[in-house]
Amino acid sequence: MDMPLLEGIDDSFLAELIAEGRNDPETVGLLLHGSRALATHRDDSDYDLIRIVTEDAYAARRDRNALVEKSAAVGLPKLDVLYQSQARVERYVADPGWYTATYLSAKVLFDRSGEIAALLGQMATEAGRIAREQTPAAYDDYLNSFVRSIKAARRGDDLGRRMHAAASASALVRTLFGLQSTWPPYHDNLAAHLPRLEEVQGWPAGYLSAALLRLIGEGDPTFQQELEARVEDLMSERGVPHEWGDDLEPMKVDASLRRTS
């Protein structure tokens, strides 16, 4: 099954890759990922590919330590190819991890039977379910880092304040995406996803990007308190309460500063 060539990418080059895969009986599917799949590439960016091959072909490559191929032939774009088997990708469905965002953002270039596209759909669904299941824990991580940052600020510990504020930013990303049953993208692709998150969760346009920058930058305690109040309101509205009590309440801003919208 051939997929439409992607807008903004050298069609002739991809057409050659698709034809090569179609004519190779060992190739089950071909995925494009990275900056070219996301249309954030430069002219000299690599073509990052995942080539899914038969179990026998995968085992043979594994045995000769040839699961990664890099090519920089003169006059041709640079290629970075990872070889996978369908069975290995299937295992990723139930066990999401650092690699999940790669597959969820990949574009299917070639799918011999249609099973690869279906597999990626299953991966998105299952990863989203797990992200939602992990939302309370991510929220707890966010609050823990918030409390530690405010305590550090009150001790005059600027390094501790900023480090814990930065940690809270990562936990907040997992919290907010999990709330939408969505596996978070890689940090360098966050900017493309935050506007939709703001829209469905009621954040002002551009707020989340600015908030994350402030957390990982200055870690201002007053801003952290204002942000925590917004987050807590959102989580309460969505039925995700926190279990914090005596440690959290003294660190929070006055209720009068909570959002009224």
**pLDDT at 11 exceeding the cut of 50:** yes
pLDDT for residue 253: 64
Q: What separation, in Å, do the N-terminal and C-terminal C-alpha atoms of the chain show?
A: 49
**pLDDT at 254 exceeding the cut of 80:** no
**pLDDT at 5 exceeding the cut of 50:** no
Instruction: Give 77's DSSP letter.
Output: -
Q: What is the CATH number of domain 11-127?
A: 3.30.460.10
The predicted model gives 213-219 an average pLDDT of 95
How high does pLDDT run on average in the chain? 89
Percent of the chain at pLDDT > 70 equals 91
Q: Which long-range contacts (CB under 8 A, 24 or more apart) does 114-117 make?
A: 114/1, 115/28, 115/29, 115/86, 116/28, 116/29, 116/31, 116/52, 116/86, 116/89, 117/1
pLDDT for residue 6: 47
The predicted model gives 11-21 an average pLDDT of 84
The predicted model gives 126-155 an average pLDDT of 96
pLDDT for residue 45: 78
The predicted model gives 229-242 an average pLDDT of 94
Total Cβ atoms within 10 A of residue 20: 13
Q: How far is CA 121 from CA 5, 13, 55, 104, 118, in A?
A: 20, 26, 21, 8, 5
Determine the Cα–Cα distance for residues 57 and 49; give it in Å rounded to an integer: 17
pLDDT (tens digit per residue) in 72-112 = 777 777 889 999 999 999 999 999 999 999 999 999 999 99
pLDDT (tens digit per residue) in 151-202 = 999 999 999 999 999 999 999 999 999 999 999 999 999 999 999 999 999 9
**pLDDT at 9 exceeding the cut of 60:** no
Confidence of residue 146 (pLDDT cuts 50, 70, 90): very high
> What is the β-pairing status of strands 27-33 and 68-71?
unpaired
For the chain, the structural domain boundaries read 11-127, 134-257
pLDDT for residue 212: 98
pLDDT for residue 258: 44
Confidence of residue 256 (pLDDT cuts 50, 70, 90): very low
The predicted model gives 225-252 an average pLDDT of 90
